[in-house]
Structure 1
Amino acid sequence: MVNYKVTVSTGYLAGATTLNNVFIKLVGTDGESERKWLMGIKGASSFMKGMVSCFTVCCPVSIGKLILIELSKQRLPLFPEDNWFPAKVEVQSPEGHTYNFPIYRWIADSEVHRFREGTALRVCDDSHHLGRYSRQQELSQREKDYCWNVYKEGIPHCMKAESPLSLPCEVRFSFTKTTEFIFTAATGLTELQIKGLSSCKKKWNSIDAINRVFCNKRTNISDYVQKHWKEDAFFGYQYLNGVNPILIRRCKALPDNFPVTDDMVFLRGKCSLANEMKKGNIFLCDYKQLDGVKTNTINGKKQYLMAPLVLLHKTPDDELMPIAIQLKQTPAEDNPIFLPTDTEYDWLTAKIFVRSADFNEHQLNVHLLRTHLLAEVFVVSLLRNVPMVHPLYKLLVSHTRYTLQINYLARASLISKTGVFTQFAASGGEGMITLLKRSLSSMTYTSLCIPDDIAERGLEHVPNFYYRDDGLKLWDIIHRFVQGVLSFYHKNDAEVQQNSELQKWISDIFEYGSLSQACTGIPQSFTTVAEMVKFVTMVIFTCSGQHSAVNTGQYDYGGWMPNTPLTLQLPPPTTKGTTSETTMLQTLPDINTTVKGMSTLWLLSKQSSDFVALGQYPEDHFSEKIPLKLIRDFQGELEVFSAVINVRNKSLDVPYTYMDPKVLENSVAI
């Protein structure tokens, strides 16, 4: 007889314990063990939360190199079926070899579940017939568990789910995440109801009255925004380091529909637009995708959403200052170009219309489409097409955490017919789908890759652009890590081309993410190692750094509503000199609209206490020495990068923390 020492670790999660009987079978190249009931000296406590328990499995002879294990459980008489979350199983063979089996899955039934040994294997490496069979069975089950669904025609597909509880157990929120999410939402709404604000359809009678909203929910940056929101320098700063840093671009020639002249923007002929454009000092923000979008009706009143053009100038003091604003795309007498030299409320009102347009563009294109919806496509394609033993799965699985449930909740609570965005944002409803379709059609692969995007927009040398600085550095760190890991398993281009599971992953992303639109530039297949590495880098960057950059600061910059109105309820002025503080207040959203928007931004900016920071891997999916060393190197680089960011931020009035690896979530989880 030969003995195999089996060590079973149960995850440290709420509800991970099982009191059911647990069974294991070891399967090797030369045979298999009997199905063994794992009954140890700890008895019923062997599989409690966080417990590590050891057992012995006896075989008449050695069963060779271990290929997989089979786990199952059976309820005791009179006891209910329970869920169990085994983290991993370690097996020491009589020959002295140690085999690791990463699991990290919920087992909720009495079926037999197979798990592969932890060495990453591409499909071409899986030479044993039992390994190939297990691989096929796993993907066959995944295709049933993770089905594509069309939420709305013309936007990326999503996962089919009837409710959060219909999602597979392993992709649902943890108990901690669920509890905190509900608590944050409930306390925000309760505070608003107590104050009588959530149902009040009146207009604001003064700017100071807005202070009554969430007086106890403030951040250092939201306080700064409240003090500086009227300032031109801060208006320009937000295009670089606010929540929508992807719209601004260097202007080489004025658009034909934006007839700004030197006399308008440069007094006494000190400069000329032509010369400043040659120097790279003129920048354009064009909200043309909003043009003609059908607007909402809120509290029985038609809402207004403009498609502005904004011209900015980099001053000798390295400040980015707005110098001209046109609120509609087509030049006309009733569409004046507003200037800083206009009256205080003419200029401020023009900026408010721009900030409202920016909110709608940001929420639907920059935030929802380019992070949440794309991340869901990456996740569903991975889970349908790539088995746990594949190196790509091991690399990306930590970046899938909570994405499917948070997106389900977004569709149910934010953009559904009764959702907050649908009811209270200017572009809610029919306009929302129009804008999402336009955004997808205009999205390009290069715009998702920050080095290409920054170069294409001509922003390499803009000063005080912390999103760019931190984003490029983060991209480089991720790229080196991805290159190291994937190149370890793919030695040449031919191995990439022959990796059928990898190719199916990217082809599904092209089909269900970009809807087979070749104009987006999203790859349909991989032909080289370099192509694969770049795309996987983009996936990780999108799910972590980019999502944080466009999500985490939502309440910082939107917690003071006049800086980011989600809708406006008067049309823009058609003649200069007709605005005042009164008309500005009448233009801003009603009280209930304001507070619904602000409470939602508070919820979406609130990080869960069980978040996993970028570079942290609580689940040990890799077992080989080189990938494990690459992970340690990755973590070291991120730690140094975090320290550099913290040193820089000490000298800034508005610290930029959204790409700091220590506070940067590993996945689209909120």
Structure 2
Amino acid sequence: MFKSMFPMATDKHKIPATVVLMRKTMSDYNDLGDWLSGPADTIGEGLGIQKVSLQLVSADKTEDPSKGGKVGAPVTLPNWNTIDSEQLYGESKFNVNFEWNEDFGTPGAILVRNTHHGEFYLKTVTLENVPGRGQILFVCNSWVYNHKNVPGHDRIFFANKTYLPHETPEPLRKYREEELRILRGNGKGELKEWDRVYDYALYNDLGDPDKGSQLARPVLGGSAKYPYPRRGRTGRKPSKSDPNSESRDFPELPGTMYNVYVPRDEQFSRLKKSDFNAYNLKGFLHDIMPTVQAIVNLTPKEFDTFKDIDELYFNGIQLPTDAVNQLVNNIPLPLMIKEIFRSDGEQLVKFPVPQVIQGIKSLYTPPTAWRTDEEFAREMLAGVNPIVIRLLKEFPPTSNLDPEVYGHQNSSMTKQDIEYNLDGLSVEEALRTKRLFILDHHDTVIPYLRRINTTETKTYASRALLFLRGDNTLKPVAIELSSLHPEGDKFGAASKVYTPAQHGVEGSIWQLAKAYVAVNDGGYHQLISHWLNTHAVIEPFLIATNRQLSVVHPIYKILHPHFRDTMAINALAREILVNADGLLEKTFYPGKYSMEMSSEIYKSWNFLDQALPNDLKKRGIAVGDINSLDDLDRLLIKDYPYAVDGLKIWFAIEKWVRDYCSFYYKRDEMVQQDPELQAWWKELREVGHGDKKHEPWWPKMQTLKELIESCTIIIWIASALHAAVNFGQYAYGGYSPNRPTQSRRFMPEKGTPEYAELEKNFEKAFFKTITSQLNCLTGVTVVEVLSRHATDEVYLGQREPDWTTDAEPVAVFKAFHDRLAEIEEEIISMNKDKKLKNRVGPVNVPYTLLFPTGEVGLSGKGIPNSISI
């Protein structure tokens, strides 16, 4: 058969192959030794020392079953030192010929050995004219280090096939199992960049107690008091002051973005790394923060008026020429700061105009749309945090806090406070017809409020009550601000209710009340909706997938694109964002209690509730189950952009996952009998989310339905949920008055100087209350970085070609891609529908955060496959 199809095949046959790789460039160098690898490698090759060898491994022939498939003769990559400069910074191709004979069988894997000092990135190996098989592709996409870094182990790469464990050809099983053992590591020692180990650790690296007790933070995870998802293990030594905390005394490595271990294959690509170096998020504390502080020092005062802050975006802030020249000459400015110093002959600091105020053509002229009650309410449905608002089921609102500890915490709202504003309905009628909703930041804040208010922050717990009007828009009808009783927590809350007003001092007080709500919502959004519920909860899934599912496992192949860059961005977050005295502590109101608060919220985290239909039902937004798009009429708020667009995306993902999984798992028994799948799910529950391992809601992973549901939730969290709560940060929060991150004064009371100032000059009182100028500039800069789509973004419905050789999964993925394109057109159409007032709102910002494809930069649209920023 072979000879008739391939007449050239003989007992000894040459299989031509193309090897595509990327060599290390200057941006990849981490240490002095790497700089020496180029010359050393060239000399070695000149002496006849071969540097990279490859060997085929048979998928169906073996000489010794205990040793795996038959291994062919090694071939080496020729002319390593003759690559031209264009290839050096891009892909390099090498042509080699493997020896083959009929006794070898079908190549199923390749062993790669690198004896170069430096590593290289192996992309693909393509075999041509394999007798009986034609072309065989090996998609590698991995960094290959010197073989001495992992003694006794050459790198193994499998042909681009997909196998359930029991379907794996016998000669390849040893390699499949051994590769997983290497990726799991032994749980010991400090991990090095070449280790490729995925393992778990507690969040014990947030504090830095060796630099002072003020930088100590609780260990999150591993206790009932502070439960938390696990993060990637680094193996660093404990701190000197606290043996339970990991030392943050790590060296600065020139040329690398990471001071902590991240598996090399999880690190940013060259292009993504270039983007990050340009905007220099990591350099923020060292370079940008001093620059921002210097800018603040150069301005004579804080923001006093809306015109002051609007200048940042429209005209720029004029700075003294001499001072700016000294600043620019003396501080190494990253690209972001160079960009905001406009080189048009004037010394200006100027930021991009956030979408929420793009309707302003010049400077502030009251009133502006962002200040309206309609926009305040609309952003709960279509803003950056549209996942908290819920149906109010009883009036007045109640608290779930323990009265033995916190006393009476139920709301003090009365019918008289709101009934006049319910379009003719009584409170009872509004409840019965499901027209009352609440944005409730009371119970989450109260336990920390006393401690928070001992810092520079001065704030309240808040409840905002909203009424659903006949045109499907919401209007706020009351805001309750609560503080703790001055004599102790057990005496309950001291609360005051504020109602809408448009003029005079009452209108000013109402604007301040909305600002306090926005402060709470901004903190909850950043710490819970964004960090905890996407970044933190998904990392254990990434780790477990790499530890327990082989790269040829079908579930690995469907999930892997949704983990791209996540460990890398989470490691950077632990270095500079969520750590003690990091950017989030500096910027958002909970300060040093930020991560501790997120741990408290994690206690109520439920994996199944992350499914969008379940979330909407739990919040009372959906009446009954939503099993398909035919059930959209079960939404109480018909014009709820996040829910409507999200459900379209959700069911598209679910169908793709169902069709894909059903191709490989024909019966529930196949799920139950898959040892890798069962080990993956067991480890995920018992270790990755080990503090919640006894929760009854975890799927048992005994049925195909449970597998489909679980994979759909994972993909939803990593893609659409993260996109919905991340990429609108600059659009809405880039303008600090719209979403202030801090409050510095309590509500003015009658008879005080603060109240008199409020009566006389609202704008000055407003800016004395919300985020300071320094923290405003810091926050704007941070959310600008976090809101940017990268140059190499890969969006939902996209993935590299040749990801599998199975035709049916390729076809259903194409159908998924096409369905997402249809959803894009549907979103465009809905955004043009004038009857859907919540889709653009008073600020005229179309809801595009769940638009499947996006654009580079601050586009405010697009769903990346993964949590990559």
TM-score by length of 2: 0.71
Q: Which residue of 2 aligns with 1:328?
A: 482
Kindly indicate whether the alpha-carbon contact (under 8 Å) linking 1:336 and 1:574 is maintained by their aligned counterparts in 2: no
State which of 417, 420, 424 in structure 1 corresponds to 2:583: 420
Kindly indicate whether the alpha-carbon contact (under 8 Å) linking 1:295 and 1:304 is maintained by their aligned counterparts in 2: no
State which of 162, 168, 172 in structure 2 corresponds to 1:120: 162
Kindly indicate whether the alpha-carbon contact (under 8 Å) linking 1:356 and 1:567 is maintained by their aligned counterparts in 2: yes
**Aligned ranges 1:61-210 → 2 under 5 Å:** 61-75=102-116, 80-110=117-147, 112-128=154-170, 130-144=171-185, 145-151=197-203, 152-153=219-220, 154-161=227-234, 163-164=258-259, 166-185=261-280, 193=291, 196-198=294-296, 203-210=302-309
Query: What's the offset of the Cα at 1:201?
Result: 10
Query: What's the offset of the Cα at 1:72?
Result: 1.9
Per-residue CA shift, 1:208-263, capped at 9, x if unaligned?
21224453312333435983221100010011011111111111212242243333
Query: What's the offset of the Cα at 1:523?
Result: 1.8
**Aligned ranges 1:343-492 → 2 under 5 Å:** 343-429=506-592, 431-459=593-621, 460-492=635-667
* Whole-angstrom CA distance in 1 between matches of 2:683 and 2:595: 23
Partner SS, residue 308 of structure 1: strand
Bigger shift: 322-331 or 501-510? 322-331
Bigger shift: 156-165 or 39-48? 39-48
Partner SS, residue 292 of structure 1: helix
**Aligned ranges 1:640-659 → 2 under 5 Å:** 640-651=822-833, 652=840, 653-659=844-850
* Whole-angstrom CA distance in 2 between matches of 1:454 and 1:356: 24
Q: 1:574 to 1:137 in 2, by over 3 A?
A: farther
Q: Which residue of 1 aligns with 2:836?
A: none
Query: What's the offset of the Cα at 1:11?
Result: 4.9
* Whole-angstrom CA distance in 2 between matches of 1:524 and 1:616: 28
Kindly indicate whether the alpha-carbon contact (under 8 Å) linking 2:412 and 2:496 is maintained by their aligned counterparts in 1: no
Kindly indicate whether the alpha-carbon contact (under 8 Å) linking 2:228 and 2:691 is maintained by their aligned counterparts in 1: no
Please say if 1:608 is aligned against 2:790. yes
Kindly indicate whether the alpha-carbon contact (under 8 Å) linking 2:229 and 2:536 is maintained by their aligned counterparts in 1: yes
Bigger shift: 198-207 or 456-465? 198-207
Kindly indicate whether the alpha-carbon contact (under 8 Å) linking 1:355 and 1:565 is maintained by their aligned counterparts in 2: yes
Q: 1:339 to 1:268 in 2, by over 3 A?
A: closer
State which of 310, 317, 324 in structure 2 corresponds to 1:211: 310
Partner SS, residue 725 of structure 2: helix
Kindly indicate whether the alpha-carbon contact (under 8 Å) linking 1:568 and 1:589 is maintained by their aligned counterparts in 2: yes
Q: 1:514 to 1:112 in 2, by over 3 A?
A: closer
Q: 1:412 to 1:192 in 2, by over 3 A?
A: closer
What are the ranges of 5 or more consecutive residues in structure 2 without an aligned counterpart? Answer: 1-10, 29-37, 43-49, 63-69, 148-152, 186-196, 204-218, 221-226, 237-257, 314-349, 399-409, 486-491, 622-634, 834-839, 855-862
Query: What's the offset of the Cα at 1:207?
Result: 2.4
Per-residue CA shift, 1:274-301, capped at 9, x if unaligned?
1112112110121121113157889x96
Kindly indicate whether the alpha-carbon contact (under 8 Å) linking 1:305 and 1:427 is maintained by their aligned counterparts in 2: no
Please say if 1:5 is aligned against 2:52. no
Kindly indicate whether the alpha-carbon contact (under 8 Å) linking 2:292 and 2:778 is maintained by their aligned counterparts in 1: no
Higher relative contact order (CA 8 A, sep 6+): 1
Please say if 1:543 is aligned against 2:718. yes
Q: Which residue of 2 aligns with 1:293?
A: 448
Query: What's the offset of the Cα at 1:165?
Result: 6.5
Kindly indicate whether the alpha-carbon contact (under 8 Å) linking 1:197 and 1:591 is maintained by their aligned counterparts in 2: no
For 1:293, the aligned partner's letter is: Y
What are the ranges of 5 or more consecutive residues in structure 1 without an aligned counterpart? Answer: none
* Whole-angstrom CA distance in 1 between matches of 2:463 and 2:97: 72
Per-residue CA shift, 1:500-542, capped at 9, x if unaligned?
2112222222234443425765526301100110110010110
Per-residue CA shift, 1:188-220, capped at 9, x if unaligned?
975993794355796422222122445331233
Kindly indicate whether the alpha-carbon contact (under 8 Å) linking 1:399 and 1:668 is maintained by their aligned counterparts in 2: yes
Kindly indicate whether the alpha-carbon contact (under 8 Å) linking 2:75 and 2:96 is maintained by their aligned counterparts in 1: no
Please say if 1:34 is aligned against 2:72. yes
* Whole-angstrom CA distance in 1 between matches of 2:691 and 2:677: 18
* Whole-angstrom CA distance in 2 between matches of 1:234 and 1:30: 68
Kindly indicate whether the alpha-carbon contact (under 8 Å) linking 2:293 and 2:774 is maintained by their aligned counterparts in 1: no
Query: What's the offset of the Cα at 1:120?
Result: 1.1
Partner SS, residue 105 of structure 1: strand
Query: What's the offset of the Cα at 1:649?
Result: 2.7
Partner SS, residue 477 of structure 1: helix
Kindly indicate whether the alpha-carbon contact (under 8 Å) linking 1:68 and 1:115 is maintained by their aligned counterparts in 2: yes
Bigger shift: 625-634 or 34-43? 34-43
Kindly indicate whether the alpha-carbon contact (under 8 Å) linking 2:292 and 2:774 is maintained by their aligned counterparts in 1: no
Per-residue CA shift, 1:162-201, capped at 9, x if unaligned?
6457322211011221221122247997599379435579
Kindly indicate whether the alpha-carbon contact (under 8 Å) linking 2:23 and 2:92 is maintained by their aligned counterparts in 1: no
Q: 1:312 to 1:604 in 2, by over 3 A?
A: same
Partner SS, residue 173 of structure 2: helix
Kindly indicate whether the alpha-carbon contact (under 8 Å) linking 2:699 and 2:710 is maintained by their aligned counterparts in 1: no
Q: Which residue of 1 aligns with 2:489?
A: none
Query: What's the offset of the Cα at 1:13?
Result: 8.7
Query: What's the offset of the Cα at 1:485?
Result: 1.2
* Whole-angstrom CA distance in 2 between matches of 1:320 and 1:6: 67
CA RMSD of aligned residues (A): 3.0
* Whole-angstrom CA distance in 2 between matches of 1:333 and 1:392: 50
Query: What's the offset of the Cα at 1:328?
Result: 1.5
Q: Which residue of 2 aligns with 1:263?
A: 416
* Whole-angstrom CA distance in 1 between matches of 2:12 and 2:480: 82
Kindly indicate whether the alpha-carbon contact (under 8 Å) linking 2:262 and 2:571 is maintained by their aligned counterparts in 1: no
Please say if 1:591 is aligned against 2:591. no
Q: Which residue of 2 aligns with 1:495?
A: 670
Per-residue CA shift, 1:314-340, capped at 9, x if unaligned?
112322011011012779995221001
TM-score by length of 1: 0.91
Kindly indicate whether the alpha-carbon contact (under 8 Å) linking 1:238 and 1:244 is maintained by their aligned counterparts in 2: yes
Q: 1:266 to 1:140 in 2, by over 3 A?
A: same
Q: How many residues align?
A: 663
Query: What's the offset of the Cα at 1:422?
Result: 1.6
Larger Rg: 2
Identity of aligned residues (%): 23
Bigger shift: 453-462 or 657-666? 453-462
* Whole-angstrom CA distance in 2 between matches of 1:378 and 1:576: 56
For 1:486, the aligned partner's letter is: C
* Whole-angstrom CA distance in 2 between matches of 1:14 and 1:458: 54
Kindly indicate whether the alpha-carbon contact (under 8 Å) linking 1:201 and 1:591 is maintained by their aligned counterparts in 2: no
Q: 1:564 to 1:178 in 2, by over 3 A?
A: same
* Whole-angstrom CA distance in 1 between matches of 2:493 and 2:440: 20
**Aligned ranges 1:233-244 → 2 under 5 Å:** 233-244=374-385
State which of 91, 95, 117 in structure 2 corresponds to 1:50: 91
